[in-house]
Amino acid sequence: MVIVHPDTDFLEDIAGNVKEYVLKELNIKSLVPCNDALKYASLRASVLNVLGKRLGRSMEGVKEAVKALSTEDVLASEKSGEMVLASCSVKFSQVKITRVFKRPDHMNEGEMDAAGDGDVTVILRLRG
């Protein structure tokens, strides 16, 4: 099992404090922490609707700017905590980041699968 998360403290807790518990309860052979968000996923960003009240008519421009963000822009914004889009300052917490699992080329659908909640992605090798 691979746990993907950008926060190394979170990964250290998983790989240290609760590793044996997770291995036993899930009946898995290994637990591998990974903080490389792009190794197993692509990133997509969308604006949360709460911004509509604050931005008013500027909301459409911000939505388009968020859709146009590159993966590198999303990662940089995640680290800085905010960004300027269409001349509007937007906090990173007001943008929803979705990590979409991308299976390695040498694996097929029956060999590996993943699920996540937006921040954490859990990847299981189904055979092997």
Q: Does residue 77 share a domain with residue 66?
A: yes
Write the burial class of residue 109 (CB in 10 Å: 0-12 exposed, 13-18 middle, 19+ buried): exposed
Is the pLDDT at 128 greater than 70? The verdict is no
Nearest one of 95, 101, 90, 98 to 125, comparing CA atoms: 101
Q: Which domain holds residue 74?
A: 41-98
Q: Does residue 56 share a domain with residue 33?
A: no
- pLDDT, mean of residues 45-65: 86
pLDDT 10s digits, 76-106: 888 888 888 888 888 888 888 888 888 888 8
More confident residue, 108 or 128: 108
Among 23-37, 83-97, 98-112, 114-128, the range of highest mean pLDDT? 23-37
- pLDDT, mean of residues 55-82: 87
Are β-strands 95-101 and 112-116 bridged in parallel, bridged antiparallel, or unpaired? Answer: unpaired
Contact 42, 100 (CB under 8 A): yes
Tell me the pLDDT band of 30, cut-offs 50, 70 and 90. very high
Contact 16, 47 (CB under 8 A): no
Number of other residues whose CB lies within 10 A of the CB of residue 15: 15
Tell me the pLDDT band of 32, cut-offs 50, 70 and 90. very high
More confident residue, 12 or 71: 12
Q: Does residue 86 share a domain with residue 55?
A: yes
Q: Does residue 89 share a domain with residue 55?
A: yes
Q: Does residue 94 share a domain with residue 45?
A: yes
- Whole-number pLDDT of residue 83: 87
Nearest one of 82, 120, 122 to 98, comparing CA atoms: 120
- The number of folded domains in the chain is 2
pTM, whole model, 2 decimals? 0.72
